[in-house]
């Protein structure tokens, strides 16, 4: 659900029938085409933002809820100068690095951004990416990304990537990512169709956000 002041551009998702050819060295968790489709849909949205000449873009999955009226450009101006991605939602995984469990424990502190490392408290539900980040990801994964017609994108290159193929891993890997510690984003009550086993962790996040979203 989005505030009235936001007029989103909706991107038709990639699905298992429209997946481009994948160049990869890993099996991508048993070659799960649904997970791959989700990840490549994120790349498709970033490709669209780049070719629309946006200096930054908010990429959001369709179950995302914006909780507060925020000047997003101002928020980005407060981030460290080297940022490429600002992650706006996290899953409070109990197994995450103990100093960041959950990241929203910083909600009432003066710490606005936490420098993230690979696989730290991931969630691709909602994030902001700037032009520098767009170019880094598109160059890495799409050989002919300068072609503005997505239908001409026939190959996605994951050959230099050795980890899982979920969107948060693919998008966040080896980028200058900062996690926003303020509670700005929630997700709707839909269970994960990609990872039903993660429902326990998602519920921890939702409960924490519900109890602290007004602070």
Span 169-179, pLDDT tens digits: 889 888 999 99
Q: What percent of the chain has pLDDT over 90?
A: 37
State the pLDDT at residue 77.
96
Place 150 in a pLDDT band, splitting at 50, 70 and 90.
very high
pLDDT of residue 42: 96
Query: Tokens 């997700």 — which residue?
Result: 187
* Residue 153 confidence (pLDDT) above 90: yes
Query: What's residue 214's pLDDT?
Result: 65
Which pLDDT value is given to residue 100?
Answer: 45
| 54 contact partners, CB below 8 Å, separation of at least 6 | 131
Using DSSP's 3-state secondary structure scheme, residue 42 falls into helix
- Confidence category of residue 202, pLDDT binned at 50, 70, 90: low
Instruction: Give percent above pLDDT 70 in the chain.
Output: 76
Question: Does 25 have pLDDT greater than 80?
Answer: no
Greatest mean pLDDT among 16-20, 33-37, 54-58 lies in 54-58
For residue 88, cis peptide bond before it (omega within 30 degrees of 0): no
Question: In sequence order, what are the residues at sequence separation of 6 or more whose Cβ sits closer than 8 angstroms to the Cβ of residue 91?
Answer: 121, 122, 123, 198, 201, 202, 205
Joined together, the tokens standing for residue 127 give 């994030």
pLDDT average, residue stretch 101-128: 79
Between CA 41 and CA 136 the distance in angstroms is: 17
CA distances from 154 to 33, 141, 150, 151, 157 (A): 16, 11, 9, 7, 10
Higher pLDDT, 22 or 86: 86
CA angle 103, 35, 97 (to 5 degrees): 25
pLDDT digits (tens, 9 = 90+) for 54-103: 999 999 988 888 888 889 999 999 999 999 999 998 875 544 445 445 67
Q: Between these two residues, 62 and 49, which has the higher pLDDT value?
A: 49
């Amino acid at each position: 659900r989005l505030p009235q002041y936001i007029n989103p551009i909706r991107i038709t998702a990639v699905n298992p029938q429209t997946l481009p050819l994948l160049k990869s060295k890993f099996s991508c968790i048993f070659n799960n085409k649904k997970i791959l489709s989700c990840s490549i849909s994120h790349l498709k949205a970033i490709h669209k933002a780049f070719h629309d000449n946006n200096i930054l873009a908010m990429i959001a999955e369709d179950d995302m809820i914006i909780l507060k009226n925020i000047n997003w450009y101002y928020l980005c101006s407060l981030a460290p100068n080297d940022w490429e991605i600002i992650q706006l939602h996290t899953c409070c995984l109990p197994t995450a690095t103990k100093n960041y469990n959950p990241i929203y424990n910083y909600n009432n502190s003066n710490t606005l951004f936490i420098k993230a490392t690979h696989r730290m408290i991931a969630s691709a539900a909602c994030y902001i990416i700037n032009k520098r980040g767009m170019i880094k990801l598109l160059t890495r994964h799409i050989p002919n990304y300068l072609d503005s017609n997505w239908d001409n994108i026939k190959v996605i290159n994951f050959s230099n990537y050795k980890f899982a193929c979920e969107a948060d891993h693919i998008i966040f890997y080896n980028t200058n990512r900062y996690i926003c510690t303020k509670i700005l984003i929630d997700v709707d009550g839909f269970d994960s169709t990609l990872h039903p086993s993660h429902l326990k962790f998602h519920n921890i996040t939702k409960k924490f956000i519900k109890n602290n979203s007004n602070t």
